[in-house]
Structure 1
Amino acid sequence: MAFLWWLGGALVLGVVEMLTVDLIFLMFAGGALAAGGVAALGAPLWAQILTFAVVSVILLVVVRPWALGYLKRSTPDSLTNVAAHVGRSAEVLVDVTDRAGRVKLAGEVWTARAAEPGSLLPTGTTVQVVRIDGATAVVAPLPVTYPEGAM
Structure 2
Amino acid sequence: MDLAQYAWIVWLVVALICFIIEMVTLEFTFLMIGMASIGGLVSSITGLPVWAQVLIAAAAALLLLLLVRPKLLQRLHESGELNLQGVDALLGMAGEVTRTFVRGAGEVTLSNGDVWTARLSPAVQPRDPDVGERIVVTAIEGATAIIVPAQR
Q: Same fold (TM over 0.5)?
A: yes
Note the aligned Cα RMSD (angstroms). 3.8
Aligned residues: 136
Displacement, 1:30? 2.9
Indicate conservation of the 8 Å contact 1:89/1:126, yes or no. yes
Q: Which residue number in structure 2 is paired with residue 140 of structure 1?
A: 148
Q: Which residue number in structure 2 is paired with residue 57 of structure 1?
A: 62
CA distance in 1 between partners of 2:140 and 2:108 (Å): 14
Q: 1:72 to 1:29 in 2, by over 3 A?
A: farther
Indicate conservation of the 8 Å contact 1:112/1:138, yes or no. yes
What is the percentage of aligned positions where both structures have the same residue? 27
AA of the residue aligned to 2:9: G
Q: Which residue number in structure 1 is paired with residue 26 of structure 2?
A: none
Q: TM-score, normalised by structure 1?
A: 0.62
Query: Which structure 2 segments of 5+ residues have no match?
Result: 23-29
Displacement, 1:79? 6.1
Indicate conservation of the 8 Å contact 1:112/1:136, yes or no. yes
Indicate conservation of the 8 Å contact 1:127/1:140, yes or no. yes
Q: How does 1:93-104 map to 2 (within 5 A)?
A: 93-97=100-104, 101-104=105-108
Q: TM-score, normalised by structure 2?
A: 0.61
Indicate conservation of the 8 Å contact 2:136/2:148, yes or no. yes
Query: Which structure 1 segments of 5+ residues have no match?
Result: 146-151
CA distance in 1 between partners of 2:45 and 2:64 (Å): 16
Q: Which residue number in structure 2 is paired with residue 116 of structure 1?
A: 122
Which protein is bigger by CA-based radius of gyration?
A: 1
Q: How does 1:2-151 map to 2 (within 5 A)?
A: 2-5=4-7, 7-21=8-22, 22-33=30-41, 35-36=43-44, 40-41=47-48, 43=49, 46-66=51-71, 85-86=90-91, 87-91=93-97, 93-97=100-104, 101-106=105-110, 110-116=116-122, 119-124=125-130, 125-143=133-151, 145=152
Q: Secondary structure at the match of 2:31?
A: coil
CA distance in 2 between partners of 1:60 and 1:4 (Å): 27
